[in-house]
Amino acid sequence: MTWVAVTGAEGFIGSHLVEALVASGHRVRAMAQYNSFSSFGWLETLPAETMDQVDVVLGDVRDPGSVRELVKDTEAVYHLAALIAIPYSYRAPHSYVDTNVTGTLNVLEAVRHLEIPRLVHTSTSETYGTAQTVPISEDHPINTQSPYAASKAGGDRLADSYYASFETPVVTLRPFNTFGPRQSMRAVIPTVIGQVAAGERTITLGDLRPTRDFTYVRDTARAFLAVGSAPAESVVGRTFNAGTGGEISVGDLVQLIGKLMETDLDVIEEAQRIRPAGSEVMRLVCDASRLREATGWAPDHSLEQGLEHTIGFFRDPANLARYKTALYNI
């Protein structure tokens, strides 16, 4: 049984990835951001038999020493730690550079100097900006329309440079819009489902026109495993999109959720939830053929199936109680 390391392990995708890694036979050294409450985030909700194979380390990717201690003597590193909320990046862009750029640099340096065999770096479809061609392949131009997207693109370019300069064995995974249980209410699907589960029938949202390619979180976790375990010659030094190839507008998504939850919904567009006009990404649709050809990965869940699982999660009172559904979560 081999050890692997995960940064951002306490978060939405990170906690699902930890589960998937343990299920596939790994032991996991999981970094959760240091806090005085000794909170392990969503890792605290995982089954005891899963956590028996997990060593939780409180640290910070912005600190090089924390990162080196985390990754030493591991076979692979999955780097998911990031600041991800787009609206907050308008308020605090410096913190996004600290975490998403400098934090990634610290991970790359540790992997390079400790000669870790594989690093999976997490990108985002937001780096593409509004689609210029559809579906979006990895050759699509990078067009960062928010400080968040710019910081993630900066991390991506560092990863590319470390492969080119030092042959650091890094592969970049670029998930499109992941959703599912444990996601924060900064994202549209938990915002809608959470409000409905809490009894609301009038839903407050931002722009209803943008379209997105939504991927269920367990499928995204499988994509991480796929690029983390594939032969080096097929993935190292490359970037891979992960998405379904389908798209739906936010407005149509709300109606679909209402149908699945058997509820008629009214939607109010709230000004504070709308991005600046030049910053809104209007269309994202994934071409994941490169990932499929290199690893055989394909999504197992339809949008409707993933939504049903997510609705079930939020309808559990214990899960819903973890959220402040009445607040605008940036």
Residues with a catalytic annotation lie at: 148
What is the rounded CA–CA span in Å between residue 253 and residue 82? 26
SS3 3: strand
Secondary structure element (H or E) that encloses residue 171, with its range? strand 170-175
Widest distance between CA atoms in the chain? 57
Neighbour tally for 200: CB within 10 Å: 16
Phi, psi of 136 (to 5 degrees): -85, 120
Q: For residue 278, what is the DSSP state?
A: G
* Measured distance CA(46)–CA(43) in Å, rounded: 5
Phi-psi region of 281 (alpha: psi -120 to 50; beta: other; left: phi over 0): beta
Token readout for 177 is 């819009």
Alpha helices in the chain (DSSP H): 12-23, 48-51, 64-71, 86-91, 93-96, 103-114, 147-166, 188-197, 217-229, 232-235, 250-260, 289-295, 303-315, 317-320
Close Cβ partners of 234 (under 8 Å, ≥ 6 residues apart): 294, 295
Query: Could you please report the per-residue DSSP string of 195-256?
Result: HHHTT-SEEEES-S--EE-EEEHHHHHHHHHHHHHS-HHHHTT-EEEE--S--EEHHHHHHH
Encoding tokens for residue 125? 């479809």
Among candidate residues 111, 144, 89, the one with its CA nearest the CA of residue 7: 111
